[in-house]
Structure 1
Amino acid sequence: MSLKVNQNESIGLGEQQFQQFCKLFIQHSDKISNGWEWRQKELNEGYMVKVLLRCKDSKDDLRTRDDQDLQCREVDPFSEEKVNVVNDTEEAQVTTSELIRYEYHVVYSSSYQAPVLYFRACYSDGRTLALKEIWESVDDYYQETLSQGPWSTITQQEHHILGQPFFVLHPCRTSELMTPIMTGATKEQRNVNYITSWLSMMGPVVGLDLPLSYATALSQCYTDLD
């Protein structure tokens, strides 16, 4: 499946298209056990979620079993979440005080006709990371790029669906970033997953990397949804 657009036409993603792309994305996530899931909230409204643990000052993700003690204090956002957790050998090498729990949400914005990346993080004692700490965790390259554009700034705002405070990469330039990619795919008659292409650009800014297999996973189901 891919969006078919004309050259120089600005890309706008419909909510149904968003959900179809997410479905295909999660199918591949399930295949490689990458931890993404779909969270349905209303009949026609939902979002993608991934939760992971990371050692402070490290870019490596830790897979762990469900840990009910590792929750953020301000709200009770994680009661339904599934956490990907580490084996005992890896756990023994890391003290809980060094662990940070990251929660990433991919949510559709009708205003921008684009996906939005929401995220939040907390220490093992429940303290949430402040915006200053989030900025400090961003790679130097992305800090410089964010300050110059075309990336938007990391801000804090209310989650569109949950009504809870999250950090967010503002989507105002998403169409500008995605239009050349989707236009090129149309011209070359290639199937491209909008969510995969978008998240591969936006995710690394906040420490969320995609395995390369997402970029090469063009199964028959893409064509079936066209």
Structure 2
Amino acid sequence: MENMETAVEDKRTQTLMVLGVAMQKNGLAELALNYSGSGDEQDNFSVTCKTEDGKDVFVNVSEITDAMEALAETVVDGYENGNGGSGNVSIKIENLAINAEWDHFDNVTEESPEDTSIPDETAKMIRNILPALGADSVRVEYSGGGDSMDGLDITYSHKDLEIAMPNGVEVLTKRVHDALRNLICNQVDGFWNDEGGRGEMWITTDAENAGWDHFNFVGAHEQTHYSFSATLPVDQGVVA
């Protein structure tokens, strides 16, 4: 583990030196990077530059952008995972040193329970349908967010054993499906926002045995600060 951390630090230092030399060649004293992304996509990766006399300039130099991306890989290996993340970096050359201050934010998802209950009229309607389906209970599990429901699974059981629906009961199962879906769509606050949620609902022929557990997904950020530096070669034209 220690050898791996040392190798990462060595690569970081080398990459920072490559970046510093490229900045010197192009008369740059400062760089600022802002990035964000998730999955396999890099939604944003923008670099702004300042010259040695403090002027903002746009420099489209591949060795600078390539070095910045390589540097990002030595700091944050998780920002292109499923949850994603974002960050900002300030890099400055002062005398013979190049210094980097880095704030990275990992996106994390937490669950917040929401108080939910099945309306009596809905529970009674479904309870009356269950015997006609040869079932004594129905259970639904769901998840989703934004404008889509990623999963809505309904299972019927009899004496705790899952059963398949016979032919000719489609009208009844559609009534159950639509009633449950309408509850999920309209009864909980957070399910249809961009963060989404998940839950489980069950109704049985026993009026005392029914319930609904719902959890809203709540987005949060975990921040990590990095600070590192490297010494640049003297022969690159830097004035100490």
Give the structure-2-normalised TM-score. Answer: 0.23
Higher strand share: 2
Higher helix share: 1
Give the structure-1-normalised TM-score. Answer: 0.24
